[in-house]
Amino acid sequence: MVLTQPIPIQASQPRLFPRPTGDPRLLVPGWGGDLSPDEFDFVQDELIRDKKLAYEWGFRPSAKGRPEWAVRQVTQWGHPDSRTANLVLARHLMPQSVPSEEPEQA
């Protein structure tokens, strides 16, 4: 019988792509307001990774992507305790969330 040295178990490999970091309060619907690009990347990454969070925000947990306009709407006008309100914001584009392309005429 030949005994060999056990192969040491190494710690997990470092991530090839670092996860975006941000303030955890941004993950509360309605708290974040208008997001910067870095904040948006953080929220989008968390919504993709955390299925329960995506459900609370009104998204289908099985969906792979989250539209930018929907994430921004829930971030600005969402309600932390009402999935129903977040569901409407996540699924329907609200007119006030899209900046007007035509200047107002006086």
pLDDT tens string 55-96: 999 999 888 888 999 999 999 999 999 999 999 999 988 887
* pTM score, whole prediction: 0.70
Name the residue range of residue 44's domain: 36-95
User: Per-residue DSSP letters for 39-77?
Assistant: HHHHHHHHHHH-HHHHHHTT--TT-S---HHHHHHHHHH
Distance, CA of 78 to CA of 30 (rounded, Å): 4
**How many distinct structural domains can be found in the chain?**
1
- Asked if the structure places residue 12 within a domain, the reply is no
- Asked if the structure places residue 47 within a domain, the reply is yes
pLDDT digits (tens, 9 = 90+) for 17-53: 677 778 888 999 999 888 999 999 999 999 999 999 9
pLDDT tier, 7 (very low <50, low <70, confident <90, very high otherwise): low
- Asked if the structure places residue 23 within a domain, the reply is no
- Asked if the structure places residue 25 within a domain, the reply is no
Tokens of 103: 């200047």
Tokens of 65: 């992507």
- Asked if the structure places residue 24 within a domain, the reply is no
- Asked if the structure places residue 4 within a domain, the reply is no
- Asked if the structure places residue 42 within a domain, the reply is yes
- Asked if the structure places residue 8 within a domain, the reply is no
Distance, CA of 46 to CA of 82 (rounded, Å): 19
